[in-house]
Structure 1
Amino acid sequence: MLPGSSFLLVLWLLVSSSHVIHSQNDEDNEFLENSSRLLNPDPNFPALDCPKDCRCTQEGVVDCGGIDLKEFPMNVPELTNHLSLQNNQLEEISPEELARLYRLETLNLQNNRLTSKGLPEESFEHLENLNYLYLANNKLTVAPKFLPNTLISADFAANYLTKIYGLTFGQKPNLRSVYLHNNKLSDAGLPDNMFNGSNNVEILIMSSNFLKYVPKNLPPALYKLHLKNNKLEKIPKGAFSELSGLRELYLQNNYLTNEGMDNETFWKLSSLEYLDLSSNNLSQIPSGLPRKIVLLHLEKNAIKTIARDVLPQIKNLEYLLLHNNKLKARGIHPAAFQGLKKLHTVHLYNNMLERIPSGLPRRVKTLMLLHNQISEINRNDFANTYFLEELNLSYNKLTSPQIHREAFRKLRLLKSLDLSGNNLHTVPFGFPKNLQILKLKENEISSIPKGTLAGMTKLRELFLSHNKLKLTPCRLPLLSQLLDMAGNQLIYIPPGLPASLEYLYLQNNKITTVSERAFESTPNIKGIYLRFNKIAVGSLKESIFRSLKHLQVLDIEGNLEFSNTSKNKDNSEEEEEEEEE
């Protein structure tokens, strides 16, 4: 074998299995995610005894994948190193057929119809060189009792496993990754010594099973542990105490409560960076979270309060996701985010906030407060969030008088502001001058007071659709590239359109005429949307659009006058045909 070719050959076998679909793509074998440069079997070097319809190489690779095999192929060369049989219809393999392939390093049996009866427990006992075993997407109900102690990676995902034995994964010092997601494993089906003698396992994926407790005696070398979509109710004391190297922990979509864990549950996870506790039954943020967490998922729980001392110790926290909980502003301690200098993204949408919480993170850049019950914005609500770049306050209960005209005065870096879906009747004053995107759609806006949009020289996109506007200001922001005023009560094209405009949405208004000079100031426009207005056929002349060299879309369908004219024309043609007859 050529030097260094062994690893590439392994990768080839793995990429050939990338067509196999596990039901959780983010938990597929890591080799499949990182195998873009692969060695495919070279048809120019066929082995002398290559099975029919298979591809073989002189390096010991045999690929019999996807050729509709119902039985183990005949004449597999005895010196085969890497055998791929995935995507076939195999129901059974006898131990004798595998026993003579004593040099096998990789065996890929994914996506067949193998049952535990069809794969006897002694099937692998003679494969003393086996490193990679892939049995995902079969019909196994119990794991093999004995697997070679040379094993490095084992994939049993998407079977019907109910039981694991002590030597299935135990006593394997080289074992690094185990994939058991999408099975039917319960606590009773796991031995206490499941990884006894296999202390080097780094990746363990056990999502989408029926576990009520975190498995015991987890390997100390773990850095990625997936237990989501189980029935976890409790994390036993000390379950994670030996996992000082764990970096990713997925516990979402279980039945965990605060009573099912204590202050020391996560404390020993000193390397933990990603923790997902979303979609559980937590009523408050767990105490004792390690300081290195970067991303914390707590959404879709029943959290009502954020105490003063649960978050500040997480010094590395950057993303805090608390949407879809039961938080009220008074339930968030004013010092809850104190000292979190790296926290830049906070999701608090779909809660019960009645006002802007006090003590917001000083360095927050993205703040999502949509779908709450906020009815006012006071002068100092955002006085300390100088770094805010994106603020979403859509679908609250804000009215124009209740937004203080100096509420946004400190937000000099704000680029995007969304106030859609509130109860605004006029465009408020006091928008930051550096805004690039302003969304005011789905309100009750009937007027744009003079000066409300003045000085907004960087505004690129302005959304005013689905309001009650009849008139527009004579001067729109000079650099706007997108103007959306669909679903209003406009009777003419807004005057003073900026030269930078590229997309103009005016559908579902009451526009009856289009002036010949309507688009004289917009040489760069690419899309004009006038669908469902009341434009008369004679008012749209070709000369109106002749100078618009960049125009790609002109949508004028659905105008009543066009429809009536077309209908009258059809009727006239029918009458002429009748007269001719």
Structure 2
Amino acid sequence: MFCREFIILCLIITTLSQPMYMYSRGQPRCYYGDRGSLTATCENATSGYFRATGYRFDNLDETVRCLHCNLDSVPTSAFDISGNHILNLDLQKSNITSMAPSSFVGLVYMETLNLAHNHIKNIVATTFRGIKKLIWLNLGYNEITILVRDGFSELGNLTTLYLNDNAIKNVDANAFNKLSALEELYLQNNFISSLDNVFFGLTSIKVIDMHNNSLLLLKPADINSTTVLDLNLAQNKLRSLDDGAISAPTLEALNVSSNEIETIKQGAFKGCKQLEYIDLENNKINQLNQYTFVRLYNLKLINLARNYLPVLQTSMFTHLPELRYLNVSYNRIKGLQRGGVLPLHNLHSLDLSHNQLKYLDYKSLFEHAPRLVLINLENNSLPCYIVEEMLEFFKEDNIEFSIDDKYGKINETCNATVVLRPDDVPDAETAKLEANTVETKSSSPNEYVMYSLIFILIGLVSVLFYLQYKIHMQLKFGHQDIAEVGLM
């Protein structure tokens, strides 16, 4: 009985799924979209269908898109369609596995080509022959493992190239040869471990995105573009930035966050005179040379959050007249070391949250950064008296503090242990001495209880001594009186 019901259920499911299957695997066809859309849609097409179809592609078919297509291996001249004026060809999710040389010859007007979300494994040197007007190409989300020499050399007018989310491990020298018009290159989410001057010849490049790759080292010749504005190298495996690692005179934004950087050598950003933004968050930096950012006169924002810095040295930033935002949150900062000849006149925002500050020479800080309007001190170990002093000192100024909620009411929940107030961060010997020298500004409730008990105990002992002394004297004089009575 159960078996018969199960068989009937399977038949019902098969019957219900039949129309959907027939639709998705139906006869190939092309049709024009809504009036004025200038878009033709081709359904269930194979790679040989476009030249065999009776549909006439004319000047109204500026955009052609594939739906439920199964193009597999695209042969030579697959789109050599007489009379076409196709500007945009959308072949994403069309099950393409390979493309022969001159696959798109005949599409002489084409400007954009979308090949994303397929199964393409390689690009041969002459794949894109005959489509010289192409300016936008998307090869993202495929299975490409290597970029060969001159793979895109036919695309002299290309301005935007997406190669993200593939499996690229190797990029041959001159892989982007003759792409003199290319402005944006997206290589994120691949497995590239070295560059070896692969960007040579990109004389118009402005954006390079290589985040989430496997880069281990940057050599001086790797990033020496004279046109790049935005460089993203986040989420790689860089351990250091050596002298001349990045030499790009037009670079404005640099992201090297979430690497494994421990050291940044002097001259690492040599020549980056236009740099305005640098993101170094989530690395392993424990020390910075005072000349690390030297000559970066246009630098406005530095993000050093989530590193291992033990002290904030103002001398590291004294060469930056335009610095406005500095984030050093989530480090191990215990103190401020003031240094440098030039003050930070334009610093507006300082984030010191989630550190280990027990003391802050706020007067010296604001003397060095007179235009500071926002300071974040959340999750530190500042004593109550410093917070009170700061609030009082700056109550007339337009300065916004971000402090833990516990400081809203200065009470026993504050950290009341106060260390000595140093003029600057002490050296090792001084720190050792100061570690054993603690000055208490105020006592905790437990200390009050302890002192009270001691005073009570001393009082009780005093009373007992007094009573014992009084009894002794009474006994002494009592015996003397008795003796005198006997003589009488």
What TM-score do the two structures reach when normalised by structure 1?
Answer: 0.59
**Is structure 2 residue 351 aligned with structure 1 residue 392?**
yes
Change (3 A) 1:241 1:135: same
Equivalent in 373, 396, 411 of residue 457 of structure 1: 396
Change (3 A) 1:173 1:427: farther
Deviation at 1:428, TM superposition (A): 2.3
Deviation at 1:254, TM superposition (A): 0.4
More off after superposition, 223-232 vs 211-220: 211-220
Letter paired with 2:64? N
More off after superposition, 127-136 vs 99-108: 99-108
Letter paired with 1:95? F
Query: d(CA) in 2 for partners of 1:74 and 1:282?
Result: 50
Query: d(CA) in 1 for partners of 2:358 and 2:342?
Result: 20
**Native 8 Å contact 1:70 1:91 kept in 2:** no
Change (3 A) 1:456 1:381: farther
Equivalent in 228, 242, 249 of residue 188 of structure 2: 228
Change (3 A) 1:75 1:198: closer
**Gapped regions of structure 1 (runs ≥ 5):** 1-66, 430-447, 473-486, 490-581
**Structure 1, residues 221-259: CA drift from partner, whole Å, max 9, x if none?**
21111111111011134x22211211111111100111x
Query: d(CA) in 1 for partners of 2:144 and 2:85?
Result: 28
Q: Secondary structure at the match of 1:233?
A: coil
Per the alignment, residue 324 of structure 1 pairs with 282
Equivalent in 219, 227, 232 of residue 262 of structure 1: 219
Q: Secondary structure at the match of 2:79?
A: coil
**Native 8 Å contact 1:114 1:140 kept in 2:** no
Q: Secondary structure at the match of 1:356?
A: strand
**Structure 1, residues 167-208: CA drift from partner, whole Å, max 9, x if none?**
431343212111111111111xx5533223322211111011
Query: d(CA) in 2 for partners of 1:359 and 1:184?
Result: 45
Per the alignment, residue 560 of structure 1 pairs with none
Q: How many residues are paired up?
A: 377
Query: d(CA) in 2 for partners of 1:244 and 1:120?
Result: 33
**Native 8 Å contact 2:74 2:99 kept in 1:** no
Per the alignment, residue 125 of structure 1 pairs with 80
Change (3 A) 1:75 1:359: closer
Equivalent in 394, 406, 431 of residue 467 of structure 1: 406
Deviation at 1:98, TM superposition (A): 4.2
Letter paired with 1:177? W
Specify which structure has the higher proportion of helix: 2
Per the alignment, residue 164 of structure 2 pairs with 207
Letter paired with 1:456? K
Q: Secondary structure at the match of 2:392?
A: coil
Counterparts of 1:487-566 in structure 2, within 5 Å, are: none
Equivalent in 185, 206, 222 of residue 144 of structure 2: 185
**Is structure 2 residue 324 aligned with structure 1 residue 338?**
no
**Native 8 Å contact 2:344 2:370 kept in 1:** no
Per the alignment, residue 305 of structure 2 pairs with 349
Letter paired with 1:355? V
Taking only aligned residues, the RMSD between alpha carbons, in angstroms, comes to: 3.3
Deviation at 1:99, TM superposition (A): 6.3
Per the alignment, residue 301 of structure 1 pairs with 259
Query: d(CA) in 2 for partners of 1:419 and 1:115?
Result: 59
Per the alignment, residue 268 of structure 2 pairs with 310
**Is structure 2 residue 66 aligned with structure 1 residue 101?**
no
**Native 8 Å contact 1:382 1:408 kept in 2:** no
Deviation at 1:462, TM superposition (A): 5.4
Letter paired with 2:151? M
Per the alignment, residue 233 of structure 2 pairs with 277
**Structure 1, residues 470-524: CA drift from partner, whole Å, max 9, x if none?**
558xxxxxxxxxxxxxx979xxxxxxxxxxxxxxxxxxxxxxxxxxxxxxxxxxx
Query: d(CA) in 2 for partners of 1:208 and 1:376?
Result: 43
Query: d(CA) in 2 for partners of 1:387 and 1:321?
Result: 19
**Structure 1, residues 102-143: CA drift from partner, whole Å, max 9, x if none?**
435534325x32222497665412255333211123332224
Percent identity among equivalent residues? 19
**Native 8 Å contact 1:356 1:377 kept in 2:** yes
Deviation at 1:389, TM superposition (A): 0.3
Q: Secondary structure at the match of 1:109?
A: strand
Change (3 A) 1:92 1:458: farther
Q: Secondary structure at the match of 2:364?
A: coil
Letter paired with 2:226? S
Per the alignment, residue 38 of structure 1 pairs with none
Change (3 A) 1:427 1:225: farther
Query: d(CA) in 2 for partners of 1:388 and 1:274?
Result: 23
Counterparts of 1:345-384 in structure 2, within 5 Å, are: 345-357=301-313, 358-360=315-317, 361-380=320-339, 384=343
What TM-score do the two structures reach when normalised by structure 2?
Answer: 0.69
Letter paired with 2:406? N
Query: d(CA) in 2 for partners of 1:282 and 1:378?
Result: 29
Structure possessing the higher radius of gyration over alpha carbons: 2
Query: d(CA) in 2 for partners of 1:453 and 1:195?
Result: 65
**Native 8 Å contact 1:465 1:488 kept in 2:** no
